[in-house]
Structure 1
Amino acid sequence: MNIKHSILLRVRIAFLVAVLFVFAVIYRLVDIQMVEGDHWRQLAEESSLDYRTIKATRGSIYASGNDLLATSLPFYRLAFDPSLVDNKTFTSNIDSLSHLLSKYFRDHSSDYYKKKISEARQMKSRYLILNRELVNYQGRQEMLTWPIFRLGQMRGGVIFEKIDDRHRPFKKLAQRTIGRVNGDGKGVVGIEASFNDYLSGKNGEGLFQRVAGGNWKPVYASTDVRPVDGYDIHTTIDINLQDVAQNALLRALSTYQANYGAVVLMEVKTGEIKAISNLEKLESGNYAETYNFAIGTTNDPGSTFKLATMLALLESGKVELTDSVDTGDGTIEFFDGKLKLTDVKRGGYGKITVQDVFEKSSNVGIAKLVTEHFGDNPKEFVDLIKETGLGQPLGFQLLGEGEPYIKDPSDPSWSGSSLPWMSVGYETGLTPLQTLAFYNAVANDGKMIQPIIVKSINRANKPVEVFKPKVLNKKIASDETLQKLRLMLEGVVERGTAQNIKNEHYKIAGKTGTAQRLVNGRYMTQSYYASFAGYFPAEDPLYSCIVIIDNPRGWNRYGGDVSAPVFKEIADMIYAQNLDIHDSFAPQYTAANNGTFPVIRAGRLEELNELCNQLGISNYADEQASDWVRSSVNNNVVIWKKNHDNTGLVPNVEGMTLRDAVYILENIGLKVLASGSGRVKRQSVGAGVRATKGATIELELG
């Protein structure tokens, strides 16, 4: 009995302890909820607040004509704090708001949105993402007029989280040069990376509150630090010329199924790059801009390097253009037969002049000249080339410029074959842009300037930093040598390896290049790096350009066949699109070539149309053409465009005959004074100015 009593007593005590523990837990829960609730809720709210980064809006990148190349467009994520809306407003407007949300996003019914918002309000949710689809600025402005949302964030609970999205209006045009940004908004390549510190701006800091789902809601406290938006970058790229260059390159690459290609077009006097395109073949067979070969890839330049070789020969006074060179049967051996050079022409060119050696791109002739005159002192040859600045980095504005390399006799790898091998463009490494800078110097009266692609850094259209062309070498050679180099470059197109791009309208000067490709340390005899570098018009150079195409396939794989036509296509389009520079391209054209395409500027449509028809010139008027027209040229077709309306404004009479100009000007009440002969060259009152009856306008003819 005592044992039984003892067991029952222990059970009762254990039960009593358990009951007391349960009552203690219940008491503590009630105490925390009812008595200390406000205190703990305040601590929880305070612990969920944090200062977080507010990203700055990234600056934009512009082309030379203020066309947008890249910009950050503002988008917004729509969220809602339904707990802030009072009951009367919520009840009377929730149906209308749900209907508008359903109509805008077109993904769910209005009942879906009403249920979603009502449940969140019942759960006292402070942050509800209404839709994952981003809203643009116009959409945001529209939503701010909707029921409930029109009350703003503090009373209406609407939250617009700003998210910037990088946008390129011209899509793939100059894609690699413009560059891209990563998920953190930092530039990775191209201008985006090279000028990231300017473009990125300075991030701010704001107070945010953690809400349900691990999201953060802005509190908009007075202590917030506003971000400073990035600077804008203004480039030298011309959108129209970029489009021309990229399309011309793409057509050639597709035709020859090449590995990759690059084009750089530059203004001779300023060094401004107007177009730069790099296209590489993908596994799909399509071409895309994946790497900036024009800036970052060094290769043996091949025969385009012969311009530097001829500079050294001429500048040293060792040869004249009229000297003779016996190229024999077109083959020659050096270094105990370890190096054998051949010419393209079977059987060789025989005995030809130095000028012919260059124009025909004779490897045998070039190598014989260099070994004869520099064989005992190869350092003199290398020094003459390096003194021009060729072989030194350009210090280009974009990151990733390839390191140039011109072998020196002090190099451990120098051998008996190095000098003749270098003379024809091997055992060297240059990027296309570095080669172009050298050719541009020849066109620019010997002044080598640093190519630039960024003109200024702006804040709200006001430049804060301006970049001007930097002179790398005031004079790469004497005037006499430069004159001879230009003469030979013109001869390459007139009589040499690039005769296929010769035309009657303007002269091109340049040099073809066809180098064997170096693959795994060995030169491939049937795989080429084709190029053409030069400038135009030859008489008064405006643009320099280089075209390189890697490993073209097919029968015609030389620089003259593959790369030179791309150069000409770009030059032809520039010539065709800008009628005002025709006189610059061919100053003696109209006087010296009877029966060729005439320079027709402006006049009466009926008369000009009849004139062209009689001459057999294809011409037509565009849809807006009126009685008085101005001409533009597309390939070999004249297009007539409207030039004058009777609006009381001074018309553009430049290019008209005096008779037509006087007729138009006097009909709007102006008195005309003319000097000179020919067509109107200049007018004293600019086109578009309001015409004052009785006023005098002076016309200069020429």
Structure 2
Amino acid sequence: MSEQEKDSAREQAARKAKGGQILTRYFIIVMLLSPVAAGILFLAFKTAILEKTKWTKVAESRKKPNRLVNPSRGNIYSADGKLMATSVPRYYLYVDFQAAGFRAPSPKGKKVVNIDTFMRSRENGIDSLAYYLARKLKNRTAAGYRAYLLRGLRQKSRQYPLYEYRLSYADYKEIREFPFFRLGRNIGGLYEREMVQRQKLFGSLASRTIGDIYNEIETGGLSKGKNGLELRYDTLLHGKPGYNSIVRVGGRWTNVVEEEPVDGLDIRTTIDLQIQDLTEKALVDKLQEADAASGVAVVMEVKTGEVKAISNMERIRPGVYAELRNHALADELEPGSTFKIASMMVALEDGICTPESPIDVGNGTYKFNGRTIRDHNAQSGGYGTITVAQSIWYSSNVSIAKIVLKGYGNNPRKFIDGLHRTGIDADLNLDIAGAGHAKIRQPGDPQWSRMTLPWMSFGYEVQIPPINTLAFFNAIANNGRLMRPMFVKSILKNGKELRVYEPEVLIPEICSKRTLRAVQEMMYNVVNYQDPVGRRDGTGKPARSSVVSIAGKTGTAQIAASKAAHNLSFCGYFPYENPQYSCIVVISRPRRGIVSGGMMAGTVFKEIAEKVYSNQIRYDLSSMKPEAGRTLMPPVKNGESRSAQAVVKWFDIRTTPKRVDADFSAYWRNATRDTLNVRKLTVREGMMPYVIGMGARDAVYALERCGLRVNLAGHGRVILQSVPSGQAVTRGQTIDIILN
């Protein structure tokens, strides 16, 4: 065997010996660790299985019960995204006079906070606390608060109200740091009860439609809607509460969120705040003028049915009105003469008459079944023979009653079926809780009599909420399509739309096109017909406008409970040629003024229509002819160039030259070429600059840049400088400038 082979054999033997040693060591380590691993497994089994109950109790003892984390209630916005209603936390404060700080001193004499601290301490005693409370809350003096707190102490009350009213979180946080209370809940006894207050940022605007919530937070941590949209969309608005636990970790209690709260979704309504504002103002002004009990005004977009404004004002004291109830939706009223449009539509559709058919109303009285039906002008002799169309213009009770009795006296069911066809009593499926429903009597009802049919024809013995009347008139403006009134456009989360509500057609066609055109023309003439003689204008004449064309119908209904009380209404749409908005106005129980739907409600309608229409007008200024004698170019002050150039560029004003590279420039108008001439102004130390035509700021800046002192008088532009431009000046010299 060669030496090389011997060396290779020795190396292999050494490697085998070394490998054996490693395996031996690994085996020894495994044997040593096996008992440890077995012990760990045994202890894990023992803890998880055998002693599970014991350790679960230990864990629970180091963890306080779950606490609710209240979610934020969703906001309510206007159609253009303005915040209308939001939630703000408010707090009622109480004192627990059985807390540790109010206990008697320990007999062992331990130095702990007790009743002695509360009664005698200068820093944390009752006197200091009463002083701070009186200064903050201002409802009692310091002595008054001291006596008040001592009364609670004597009663040992656990829920003693510190303050009668709700406080903001900032106030609550400040009071927690007052003497004695700053020692903590368990010692000072101060604790809170959280409430949620709904703030309406635009006051009474659409307040009842937005609705209210209960201030108390429910046991489950949720706020709850009381009425209006707050109630209708409560499940979306209130959100979902979360939970947190307080766990003891490393000797300290730590909050651990177990389930995050889910804040409520937001709602974007159809309300246009500009239209809402002017609608409410027009209504309240008339209510105050007439000293009426209440009033309603609703504006709806014709094509979509979106409610753009809704105002429900009620007298709370003389001259003061507020939204207390949603009369527009909830009140089931006898509509009076606005209902004649529905009666006329049924009669025309069934071929009972035509707009040109003559009808004799005589002296304005008509006796039927022992009772007398009267027109509003019966005392002045009535209308005599008029056309069916004129019976609407003049709002003749006798005419409508005769038409309906002639066509349906022997078959009143057919008339009722025709009314259902028009949709005036349709179920609108409104978004607002508490909405009323239209009620039309049926032949065979206990209340049905021989007088029901003629009385019903001009708006008595039926109950129609104002919103139903408006929806019906809106359908007339909308080519016969009855739209569901909309109050909500979309549901939002973090500003993004989760759901968008589309306009809903309830009845595609309430009548034929022929009947619709006839009714539309009648409603136009109610407002705009002018009698050549000047005695028989339409009853809606007070609503006639030179700004926008209006079509509509007046209504005057005597309230059954009082012969002297009336509901006065006007319902219609504008502009007549291309209807954009429909509107209803109802004035209830006026004490002053003329009892007339046109004079009361019609004038409010007119004001609303004119202001809404005026706000919608948009002019193309580029297509307008230049006004005679107009200023072709606006005056521009001399001075700092960058600012002037930015304005000139913004208004696209031509300058000659187009640009001047200088810190200061002078400008003057070129009247013949409709441009601005520009030249450079030199500003350097040692030479008086030209500041005529500059404003005060630029003039002072230019002069001080040359090292000069400035005295100025007046305001406007510089008209005089004490040293002519271009003259040598010395640093520190005083210059006088006069502005005008």
Pick the TM interval, shorter chain: 0.5 to 0.7
Q: Is the 8 A contact 1:511 1:533 kept in 2?
A: yes
Amino acid at match of 1:561: M
Residues 1:475 and 2:509 aligned together: yes
The Cα offsets for residues 427-478 of structure 1, whole Å up to 9 and x where unpaired, read as 1111000000000000000000000011111111112222111110001111
Distance 1:647 1:407, change over 3 A: farther
The Cα offsets for residues 499-540 of structure 1, whole Å up to 9 and x where unpaired, read as 122122221000000011122xxxx43321100000000110
Distance 1:321 1:133, change over 3 A: closer
Aligned to 1:419: 453
* TM-score relative to the length of structure 2: 0.63
Amino acid at match of 1:256: A
Shift of the alpha carbon at 1:232?
A: 0.6
Amino acid at match of 2:588: D
Could you say what the CA RMSD is over the residues aligned between the two structures, in angstroms? Answer: 4.9
After superposition, residues 245-644 of structure 1 pair within 5 angstroms as 245-283=279-317, 286-335=320-369, 337-345=370-378, 346-495=380-529, 496-519=538-561, 524-580=562-618, 607=629
Distance 1:130 1:406, change over 3 A: closer
Shift of the alpha carbon at 1:221?
A: 3.5
CA distance in 1, matches of 2:446, 2:465: 23
Amino acid at match of 1:421: W
Distance 1:350 1:199, change over 3 A: same
Aligned to 2:238: 200
Amino acid at match of 1:548: V
Amino acid at match of 1:236: T
- Which has more radius of gyration? 2
Q: Is the 8 A contact 1:234 1:455 kept in 2?
A: yes
Q: Where in structure 2 are there 5+ consecutive unaligned residues?
A: 1-56, 102-122, 142-160, 177-184, 217-222, 530-537, 637-642, 660-740
Distance 1:575 1:601, change over 3 A: farther
Distance 1:448 1:667, change over 3 A: farther
Amino acid at match of 2:548: Y
Shift of the alpha carbon at 1:135?
A: 8.0
The Cα offsets for residues 225-270 of structure 1, whole Å up to 9 and x where unpaired, read as 3221111111011111111111111111111111111111010011
Match of 1:222 among 231, 256, 270: 256
Match of 1:180 among 191, 198, 212: 212
Amino acid at match of 2:518: K
Aligned to 2:687: none
The Cα offsets for residues 59-108 of structure 1, whole Å up to 9 and x where unpaired, read as 1111112111110135689999999xxxxxxxxx99xxx9xx99996989
Distance 1:494 1:201, change over 3 A: same
Q: Is the 8 A contact 2:484 2:506 kept in 1?
A: yes
Q: Is the 8 A contact 2:334 2:463 kept in 1?
A: yes
Aligned residue for 1:512, secondary structure, equals: strand
CA distance in 1, matches of 2:335, 2:314: 19
CA distance in 1, matches of 2:206, 2:472: 24
Aligned to 1:166: 198
After superposition, residues 226-245 of structure 1 pair within 5 angstroms as 226-245=260-279
CA distance in 2, matches of 1:394, 1:477: 18
After superposition, residues 47-62 of structure 1 pair within 5 angstroms as 49-62=64-77
Amino acid at match of 1:65: D
% of aligned pairs identical?
Answer: 37
Amino acid at match of 2:74: G
Aligned to 2:692: none
Aligned to 1:686: none
Amino acid at match of 2:214: N
CA distance in 1, matches of 2:272, 2:505: 23
CA distance in 2, matches of 1:492, 1:224: 68
Amino acid at match of 2:352: K
Q: Where in structure 1 are there 5+ consecutive unaligned residues?
A: 1-41, 84-92, 110-128, 145-152, 210-217, 584-598, 611-624, 629-643, 652-660, 670-702
Distance 1:292 1:131, change over 3 A: closer
How many corresponding residue pairs? 542
Distance 1:666 1:297, change over 3 A: farther
Q: Is the 8 A contact 2:291 2:318 kept in 1?
A: no
The Cα offsets for residues 323-369 of structure 1, whole Å up to 9 and x where unpaired, read as 1111100000112x135333335210001111111000011111111
Shift of the alpha carbon at 1:315?
A: 1.0
Q: Is the 8 A contact 2:195 2:215 kept in 1?
A: no
CA distance in 2, matches of 1:350, 1:646: 75
Distance 1:132 1:259, change over 3 A: closer
Aligned to 1:73: 88
Amino acid at match of 1:410: G
The Cα offsets for residues 639-692 of structure 1, whole Å up to 9 and x where unpaired, read as xxxxx99647986xxxxxxxxx997799999xxxxxxxxxxxxxxxxxxxxxxx
Aligned to 1:112: none
Shift of the alpha carbon at 1:605?
A: 8.8
Q: Is the 8 A contact 2:545 2:610 kept in 1?
A: no
Distance 1:309 1:161, change over 3 A: closer
* TM-score relative to the length of structure 1: 0.66
Distance 1:182 1:664, change over 3 A: farther
Distance 1:167 1:554, change over 3 A: closer
Amino acid at match of 2:394: K
Shift of the alpha carbon at 1:130?
A: 12
Amino acid at match of 2:552: G
CA distance in 2, matches of 1:63, 1:306: 35
CA distance in 2, matches of 1:323, 1:427: 27
Shift of the alpha carbon at 1:385?
A: 1.5
CA distance in 2, matches of 1:73, 1:550: 36
Shift of the alpha carbon at 1:378?
A: 1.7
Aligned residue for 1:482, secondary structure, equals: helix
Distance 1:292 1:77, change over 3 A: closer
Aligned residue for 1:192, secondary structure, equals: helix
Aligned residue for 1:393, secondary structure, equals: coil
Shift of the alpha carbon at 1:484?
A: 0.8
Amino acid at match of 1:59: G
CA distance in 2, matches of 1:466, 1:219: 46
Aligned residue for 1:387, secondary structure, equals: helix
The Cα offsets for residues 371-430 of structure 1, whole Å up to 9 and x where unpaired, read as 112222222221111012221220001111102111222323222111111110111111
Aligned residue for 1:481, secondary structure, equals: helix
CA distance in 2, matches of 1:391, 1:321: 24
Distance 1:62 1:602, change over 3 A: farther
Aligned to 1:654: none
Aligned residue for 1:573, secondary structure, equals: helix
Q: Is the 8 A contact 1:180 1:189 kept in 2?
A: yes
Distance 1:103 1:407, change over 3 A: closer
Q: Is the 8 A contact 2:289 2:592 kept in 1?
A: no
CA distance in 2, matches of 1:359, 1:238: 32
Distance 1:665 1:420, change over 3 A: farther
Aligned residue for 1:402, secondary structure, equals: coil
Amino acid at match of 1:176: R
Shift of the alpha carbon at 1:604?
A: 7.6
